[in-house]
């Protein structure tokens, strides 16, 4: 698994569709950035380690990270180190996928998430 292409699972795709509808955010990558940041802020390790990337949602690292690619990469590297993993391309790719999926689940599970303002409040708690 590498950072070149990010592919999501069908459940994550379904959750993103719901999040797009309730927040009004139109782009997958923007929601995915929020999700990754939210998951990385949680110090506990994600419970799920294997993700089946079976949806048609796919984006390049450049599309996902945008102009903040170096920052997201540094955050992922630090998280790997904090979790006792060497920040290799394989572990970085795995960390990205599991944290991205956990963050999407966190966002989708919020019952009080109805607007972009609610999204901002969610991530500042």
pLDDT tens track for 6-43 = 999 999 999 999 999 988 889 999 999 999 999 999 99
The residues, any chain, with a CB within 8 Å of residue 88's CB and separated by 6 or more, are none
CB 102 within 8 A of CB 46: yes
CATH at 78 = 1.10.1220
Q: What is the mean pLDDT of residues 85-107?
A: 94
pLDDT band at 48 (very low <50, low <70, confident <90, very high): confident
Q: How confident is the prediction for the chain on average, in pLDDT? A: 88
Structure tokens at 9: 């699972």
Of 42, 45, 59, the closest CA to residue 8 belongs to 59
pLDDT band at 3 (very low <50, low <70, confident <90, very high): confident
Backbone angles phi, psi at 45, to 5 degrees: -75, 145
Is pLDDT above 70 for 71?
Answer: yes
Domain count, the chain: 1
* Interatomic CA distance for residues 7 and 114, integer angstroms: 26
The range of the structural domain enclosing residue 72 comes to 5-124
| pLDDT at site 47 | 86
Q: Which residues pair with 5 in a beta bridge?
A: 60
**What pTM was estimated for this model as a whole?**
0.89
């Amino acid at each position: 698994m590498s950072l070149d292409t990010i592919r999501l699972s069908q459940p994550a795709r379904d959750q993103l569709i719901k999040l797009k509808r309730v927040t009004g955010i139109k782009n997958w990558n923007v929601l995915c950035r929020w999700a990754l940041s939210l998951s990385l802020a949680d110090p506990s390790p994600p419970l799920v380690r294997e993700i089946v990337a079976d949806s048609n949602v796919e984006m390049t690292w450049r599309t996902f990270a945008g102009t903040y690619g170096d920052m997201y990469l540094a955050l992922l590297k630090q998280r790997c180190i904090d979790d006792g993993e060497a920040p290799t391309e394989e572990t970085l790719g795995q960390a990205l996928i599991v944290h991205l999926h956990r963050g999407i689940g966190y966002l989708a599970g919020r019952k009080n998430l109805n607007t972009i303002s609610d999204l901002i409040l969610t991530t500042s708690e």
